[in-house]
């Protein structure tokens, strides 16, 4: 990994001046803190006990030094506050930037990458992991500087104060360092596990919140509570293991620290008895030792926070370092290459999903002319939606090539490709916006007229106008305030208003009754003819379960277990393709009206 690509360095770099100022102010604060024991010692020894004045106290010296000490305390406080502001500024902006960068990266992920990380895992990385890294930054700026300054300058101050006390401290420091190292070494691998358990819990929460209606419908609350409970306990177990290890750190270090203080008092008492040092010096030494050992404890806590933060940093780095398999460097081609021979052309396309062995699509060769309407039919699981996913570059084909307007889709920028091809997916996602905003969602170039035209073609206008506020009616989360068919029609209107060159329906009229569906395809035909007359033909690919839907197309492609076993008009397929005949026969039993018409 290139050094500057490191998530910490890259996203902290813009705040380097504030970070440097924070470090400077923190050091100033600690230096002031460390200077106070010396002042205190001279107040006691010189001012109160009259050292150097034949044992005569000097109240004026006490007052003068006391005032100076108060000023120094104020200065230290000021540095602490200003330093804290700088630290928080850096940490918050850093966290904000990392979150934004990760989110941007996740939105550009191929479906393969989304499958790899899982939705729950991505949510954890965006929330918990960024929070951990943010904490690590603020701790690094605040704590590391403070603790190291306390440790280094405190030790130097103690050394210049008295060598005996320094020796006692030097014995305590390695013991505490050894204890901290063992604890960090033991807890470190558990932090990754901890985050993985949060991933799992988030995944279940996300699935259950999204599938709340199904859970209620099937009365499966108990089962899902149980599933959540198992994952939750698993997480709690891991947390407990980590926390139990970490909780040993402070008490053990406290034991060593108190032993060191007792030793200093003992050594100090012997030295004072022999007249080698004054009581004020012992007081100052004790303050220094507490500061040094506290610095060490603070450093230990920071190491533990760092262990967790670095785990999270690695998990974020994994997201930011992801190569872009699908969204490669395709150059943006000029729009409007509609004089091409084919709008879509697949040449010997093979595909299997990542991590799977079996091909979901095998040797598919298929072409669609500009302005043509092609239907794709086949049994459930035949690979119809997969074909569409490859066309949109949600996944890269394992082998073979897919061309759009005579150009390999890998040579398009994803933006350009998805501007040319608009898909109405099987599952309709609407947002908590007005109906109008849902229709024009993601479209920059629209007018009121084009919105209404799209809604009319999608057979949505009648029900929109019946809503309390027409086009300005708010849609509830996920479109739950609308029926399945209404949601599908809004999704179709959203696709049409973008004026794509290729419009793809992935089983997106399944919730429409046959009369509405027929009206939709009739109006879509009219729209396609107008587009043809304008010189911008509209190519349509319709994935369908129902033959009644497929029959609106000029040609029909039949998929069976990932293979293309027939392609032609309805009549041709009825003659040549046994599977098609079978599908027609099975559907005609339930939909008597379908076969005879046309
Ligand atoms: N993300 C995925 N990972 C692994 N396998 C998948 C994935 N998505 C689909 N499949 C598998 O690929 C095969 C084809 O699925 P696909 O969704 O393309 O079928 P389909 O013809 O559209 O089916 P349907 O009409 O039921 O929607 C199925 O066997 C399915 O289990």
Tens digit of pLDDT for each residue in 3-58? 456 877 888 889 999 999 998 998 888 888 878 878 888 888 888 888 777 778 88
Query: Which ipTM was obtained for this model?
Result: 0.96
**Per-residue confidence band for 591, with pLDDT thresholds at 50, 70 and 90:** low
- Give the helix/strand (H/E) hosting 558: strand 555-560
Alpha-carbon distance 158 to 154, whole Å? 6
Is any atom of ligand 1 closer than 6 Å to the C-beta of 380? yes
Hey, which of 360, 395, 423, 565 would you mutate to test ligand 1's pocket, going by the most ligand atoms within 8 Å of its Cβ? 360
Task: Evaluate whether 254 touches 300 at the Cβ level (below 8 Å).
Answer: no
pTM given for the model: 0.65
Closest CA to 365 of 380, 350, 377: 350
Q: Could you tell me the domains of the chain?
A: 3-320 (1.20.1560.10), 344-590 (3.40.50.300)
Question: What is the predicted pLDDT for the residue at 329?
Answer: 46
Residues 6+ apart with CB under 8 A from 340: 370, 405, 406, 407
**Per-residue confidence band for 130, with pLDDT thresholds at 50, 70 and 90:** very high
Residue 61 is encoded by which pair of tokens?
Answer: 């010296």
Question: What is the predicted pLDDT for the residue at 42?
Answer: 84
Residue 337 is encoded by which pair of tokens?
Answer: 């290459």
> How many whole angstroms from 196 Cα to the centroid of ligand 1?
27
Alpha-carbon distance 252 to 293, whole Å? 12
> How many whole angstroms from 386 Cα to the centroid of ligand 1?
6
Helix locations, 392-513, DSSP H: 414-420, 435-439, 448-457, 461-466, 484-497
Structure-token match 């330093």, residue found:
83
> Which residue's CA is the nearest one to ligand 1's atom 18?
383
> Which residue's CA is the nearest one to ligand 1's atom 3?
353
Alpha-carbon distance 546 to 549, whole Å? 5
Task: Evaluate whether 422 touches 498 at the Cβ level (below 8 Å).
Answer: yes
> How many whole angstroms from 73 Cα to the centroid of ligand 1?
69
**How many other β-carbons are positioned within 10 Å of the β-carbon of residue 217?**
9
Is any atom of ligand 1 closer than 6 Å to the C-beta of 427? no
Alpha-carbon distance 152 to 260, whole Å? 18
Alpha-carbon distance 205 to 83, whole Å? 40
Alpha-carbon distance 148 to 23, whole Å? 11
As a whole number of Å, the CA-based R_g of the chain is 36
Is any atom of ligand 1 closer than 6 Å to the C-beta of 357? no
Question: What is the predicted pLDDT for the residue at 324?
Answer: 60
Question: What is the predicted pLDDT for the residue at 373?
Answer: 93
Which range is most confident: 5-9, 129-133, 151-155, 280-284?
129-133
> Which residue's CA is the nearest one to ligand 1's atom 12?
360
* Three-class secondary structure of residue 398 per DSSP: coil
Residue 25 is encoded by which pair of tokens?
Answer: 């102010």
Is any atom of ligand 1 closer than 6 Å to the C-beta of 562? no
Residue 188 is encoded by which pair of tokens?
Answer: 């470190």
Q: Which atom of ligand 1 is nearest to the CA of 356?
A: 4
Is any atom of ligand 1 closer than 6 Å to the C-beta of 539? no
Task: Evaluate whether 141 touches 26 at the Cβ level (below 8 Å).
Answer: yes
> How many whole angstroms from 383 Cα to the centroid of ligand 1?
6
Alpha-carbon distance 111 to 393, whole Å? 9
| Residue 120: CA count within 13 A, CB half-sphere | 17
User: How long, in residues, is the chain?
Assistant: 598
Hey, which of 116, 359, 385, 395 would you mutate to test ligand 1's pocket, going by the most ligand atoms within 8 Å of its Cβ? 385
């Amino acid at each position: 990994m290139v050094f500057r690509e490191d998530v910490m360095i890259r996203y902290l770099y813009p705040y380097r001046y504030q970070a440097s100022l924070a470090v400077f102010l923190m050091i100033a604060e600690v230096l002031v803190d460390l200077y106070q024991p010396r002042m205190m010692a001279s107040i006691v020894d010189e001012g109160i006990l009259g050292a150097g004045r034949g044992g005569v106290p000097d109240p004026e010296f006490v007052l003068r030094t006391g005032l100076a000490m108060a000023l120094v305390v104020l200065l230290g406080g000021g540095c602490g506050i200003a330093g804290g502001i700088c630290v928080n500024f850096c940490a918050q902006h850093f966290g904000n930037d990392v979150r934004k960068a990760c989110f941007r990266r996740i939105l550009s992920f191929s479906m393969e990458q989304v499958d790899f990380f899982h939705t729950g895992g991505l949510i954890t990385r965006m929330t918990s992991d960024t929070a951990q890294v943010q904490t690590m930054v603020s701790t690094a700026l605040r704590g590391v500087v403070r603790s190291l300054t306390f440790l280094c300058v405190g030790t130097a101050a103690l050394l210049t104060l008295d060598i005996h006390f320094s020796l006692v401290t030097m014995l305590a420091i390695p013991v505490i360092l050894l204890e901290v190292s063992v604890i960090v070494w033991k807890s470190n691998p558990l932090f990754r596990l901890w985050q993985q358990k949060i991933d799992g819990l988030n995944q279940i929460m996300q699935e259950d919140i999204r599938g709340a209606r199904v859970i209620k419908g099937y009365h499966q609350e108990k089962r899902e509570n149980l599933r959540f409970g198992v994952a939750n306990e698993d997480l709690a177990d891991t947390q407990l293991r980590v926390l139990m290890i970490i909780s040993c750190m402070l008490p053990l270090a406290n034991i060593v620290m108190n032993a060191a203080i007792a030793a200093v008092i003992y050594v100090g008492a012997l030295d004072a008895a022999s007249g080698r040092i004054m009581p004020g010096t012992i007081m100052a030494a004790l303050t220094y030792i507490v500061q040094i050992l506290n610095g060490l404890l603070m450093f230990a806590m920071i190491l533990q926070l760092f262990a967790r933060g670095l785990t999270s940093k690695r998990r974020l780095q994994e997201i930011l370092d992801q190569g872009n398999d699908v969204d490669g460097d395709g150059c943006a081609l000029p729009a409007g290459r509609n004089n091409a021979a084919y709008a879509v052309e697949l040449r010997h396309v093979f595909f299997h999903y990542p991590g799977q062995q079996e091909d979901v699509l095998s040797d598919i060769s298929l072409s669609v002319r500009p302005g043509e309407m092609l239907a794709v039919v086949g049994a459930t699981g035949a690979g119809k939606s997969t074909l569409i996913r490859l066309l949109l570059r949600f996944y890269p084909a394992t082998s073979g090539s897919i061309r759009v307007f005579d150009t390999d889709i890998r040579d398009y920028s994803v933006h350009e490709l998805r501007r040319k091809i608009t898909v109405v997916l099987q599952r309709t996602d609407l947002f908590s916006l007005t109906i109008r905003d849902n229709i024009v969602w993601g479209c920059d170039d629209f007018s009121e007229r084009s919105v209404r035209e799209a809604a009319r073609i999608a057979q949505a206008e009648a029900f929109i106008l019946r809503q309390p506020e027409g086009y300005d009616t708010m849609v509830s989360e996920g479109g739950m305030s609308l029926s399945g068919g209404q949601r599908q029609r809004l999704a179709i209107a959203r696709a049409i208003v973008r004026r794509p060159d290729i419009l793809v329906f992935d089983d997106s009229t399944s919730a429409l009754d046959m009369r509405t569906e027929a009206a939709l395809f009739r109006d879509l035909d009219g729209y396609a003819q107008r587009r043809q007359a304008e010189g911008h033909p509209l190519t349509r690919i319709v994935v369908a379960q129902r033959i009644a839907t497929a029959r609106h197309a000029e040609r029909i492609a039949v998929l069976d277990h990932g293979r293309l076993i027939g392609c032609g008009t309805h009549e041709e397929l009825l003659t040549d393709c046994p599977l098609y005949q079978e599908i027609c026969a099975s559907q005609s039993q339930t939909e008597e009206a379908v076969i005879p018409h046309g």
